[in-house]
Structure 1
Amino acid sequence: MRGTLTAAGIILAALVWYAGSCIIRPFRDCWLCDGKGHHRSKRKSKLSRPCRWCRASGKRLRFGRRLWNRARRVHRDAAAGARIAR
């Protein structure tokens, strides 16, 4: 019983930490270009091209922040639909 509560507490602490990091720093470095915005082609090592994953910005929105934004958008659209239906 004590082990289960400890594991649940650790998981809860990790989720709170990740949620806080998504609020404080919603963007992270791109995994493909390492935050540079450009990466080298695998075929020709001297050619550098814009990163297609981050659109050459070097930053990507975190997964947790993307979920939070989608949930807010759904809530906002549902509230707007309820106002129209009245």
Structure 2
Amino acid sequence: MRGTLTATGIVLAVLLAYALSCIIRPFRDCWVCDGQGHFRSKSNRKLSRPCFWCHRTGKRLRIGRRLWNRARRLHRAAN
């Protein structure tokens, strides 16, 4: 019983820490272009093109922040 409570507490602490980090820093570097907004072709290193995933910003919304925004939108639509 004590191990279950400890494990639950650890999981809740990790989830709370992730939620707080999503509130404080909602954006992260794009995983495709590493935050540069463009990436180089593998065949020709001199050619670079805009990143399709981040739309040339170099930043993407984190998954937790996307879920939070969707939940807020649903809550507002229900009222």
Distance 2:78 2:42 in 1: 46
Counterpart residue number, 2:60:
60
**Structure 1 position 7 matched with structure 2 position 12:** no
Of Structure 1 and Structure 2, the greater helix share is in: 1
Counterpart residue number, 1:82:
none
1:48-73 C-alpha deviation (Å, 9 max, x unpaired): 11111100100000001001101111
Can you give the 5+ residue segments of structure 1 that lack an aligned partner in the other structure?
Answer: 80-86
C-alpha root-mean-square deviation of aligned residues, in Å? 0.8
Aligned length: 79
Please list every run of at least 4 consecutive aligned residues from structure 1 whose deviation after the TM superposition is greater than 3 angstroms: none
Distance 1:42 1:7 in 2: 45
TM-score, scaled relative to structure 2: 0.94
> Counterpart amino acid of 1:71?
A
Can you give the 5+ residue segments of structure 2 that lack an aligned partner in the other structure?
Answer: none
> Counterpart amino acid of 1:39?
F
Counterpart residue number, 2:74:
74
1:15-69 C-alpha deviation (Å, 9 max, x unpaired): 0000000000000000111111111112222111111110010000000100110
